[in-house]
Structure 1
């Protein structure tokens, strides 16, 4: 019984100090085609003094989404983060030129494990983004 209780407490403690799945999600829609941008590499970094600490890299799925970019093994603490959408290869793979080989989005996290969504509306020569839900 002691082992079972200790295991349950350990599991509860770990989950209390980990970011829930889906803490940070992203979505890319190609404005020119109206279709999701699949296969785009997206990187996540956190500002650490004067440099950036790399946290994760993933690729958008067939729907242009990454449902959970922040690693669930840690907590998404308040601070300044950067999501970099590596769109140059996406355009190249689709035989399109682009002015922007990557789109960095720098944002503030104000609460631990705050649920955040960053959509990117993309075209060859422009983009827009906002804080989604």
Structure 2
């Protein structure tokens, strides 16, 4: 199925693998990387479902390119009382390349204070 960038979006959520559920209240930043520079595009805080309640990159603002999601997990796990001091993982960067024909990009982060994994979700 062909997509145009008019229906392309980028969304995210985070799961706390220590408690086995959504990570609530995690700050997430989206940065666009271009020519060695990084520009902040959007910020969100995860909701009760562990999701950013609106797309980080909605169709009207979608521009193909290289982006970095920065999940502020250190503050989240410190508030949960399970992080080391200083936190082993503080800000987790996930760099993704988005194409005009990519459709819905979804970047989940499964995270503990000591490890993380991500994949292209739906």
Shorter chain as denominator, the TM-score bin is 0.7 to 0.9
Distance 1:99 1:29 in 2: 18
Deviates more, 1:112-121 or 1:42-51: 112-121
More displaced stretch, 67-76 vs 98-107: 67-76
Q: Pick from 78, 97, 121: which aligns with 1:108?
A: 97
| SS of structure 1 residue aligned to 2:82 | coil
Query: What is the match of residue 84 of structure 1?
Result: 70
Q: Is the 8 A contact 1:78 1:109 kept in 2?
A: yes
Q: Which residue of 1 aligns with 2:20?
A: 34
Q: Scaled by the length of structure 1, what TM-score is found?
A: 0.77
Per-residue CA shift, 1:17-51, capped at 9, x if unaligned?
A: x966x821111111111011000000001112111
Structure with greater helix percent: 1
What RMSD in Å do the two structures reach over aligned CA positions? 2.1
Distance (Å, rounded) in 1 between the aligned partners of 2:6 and 2:40:
16
Larger Rg, first or second structure (1 or 2): 1
2:57 and 2:21 mapped to 1: Cα distance? 27
Shift of 1:110: 1.2
Question: Helix, strand or coil: the match of 1:89?
Answer: helix
Indicate how the Cα distance of structure 1 residues 65 and 46 shifts in structure 2: closer, same or farther if over 3 A, else same: same
Between the aligned partners of 1:77 and 1:112, the Cα distance in structure 2 is 11
Tell me the number of residue pairs that the alignment of Structure 1 and Structure 2 aligns: 115
Change (3 A) 1:24 1:31: same
User: Which string of whole-angstrom CA distances, capped at 9 and with x for unpartnered residues, describes residues 94-116 of structure 1?
Assistant: 11214100110000001167311
Q: Partner of 1:66: helix, strand, or coil?
A: coil
Is 2:10–2:57's contact at 8 Å kept on the other side of the alignment? no
Question: 1:126 matched to which residue of 2?
Answer: 115
